[in-house]
Amino acid sequence: MTLGRIIRQGISFGKKEFLLSIIVFAYLAVSYSVLSAGLSEGMLFLLQVFFILIENYVTVAVYYGIKQYLWEGAFDVKGMFAGAKHFFARTLYYKLLAGAAALFIAAFCLSMIEVVKDSSAAAAGLITGFTVIWISFPVYLVLLTFFAPLIIIAEDNLLLPSVRKSIVFVRTNFADVVKLCLLAAPLWFFAIFLMRVYNKKDLFLLPVIFYFIAVLEILTVKLFFLFYKARTK
């Protein structure tokens, strides 16, 4: 299957995509309304942890629902949420590991910025060059694991085999993966921009933004699932 055909099928929107987008929209609306209710710091922290776990569960359920109808032709909501329990821990562990790696990279970059502030122009240039070269490998390595959650759900693999398979898959299809990311990135940047600009400023527009994000998530995940399925036949 050509990349163009994968994209056309990936962005198609029907009844199944609508149902899944409503599920994502409901989570976004409920979590936002609860977390923005002006709670105490202690309660807010506990709720944030709770919603991180709920977000992972809903995400896995939606991913599993997309996998069901792409691989099997149909899905049911009850089976979708039941299946999510099977994949919950593995996808959560991946997110924790990827998040820890991202924090480590960010902390290193911030520490280098502090060093550069007190350095001469020549030294700052050398430090900046070293920093860019040093972080390029871990960033590249993290990006290579991008498909691991999809592989966990698509093939019911354990975490480490899924990470290894993702690395091989992304390296093999790197050019097309970059093209798909470049296709989706402007829409995600636009969604993030809307949330930052209109967050708490326009309560009538927020549901529209939430639904836009929900649709965007469904189509993005569907697109990458289709790409993975087509390239691993």
What percentage of the chain carries pLDDT values higher than 90?
Answer: 50
pLDDT single digits (tens) 178-212: 999 999 999 999 998 888 877 666 667 888 899 99
Burial 122-149 (b: 16+ CB within 10 A, else e): eeeeeeeeebeeebeeeeeeebbbbbbb
Asked if residues 25 and 13 have their Cβ atoms less than 8 Å apart, the reply is no
Say what percent of the chain tops pLDDT 70. Answer: 91
Tens-digit pLDDT profile for residues 98-109 = 988 888 888 877
Residue 94 is predicted with a pLDDT of 94
Q: What is the pTM of this model?
A: 0.87
Q: Domains of the chain: which residue ranges?
A: 3-231
SS3 of residue 25 by DSSP: helix
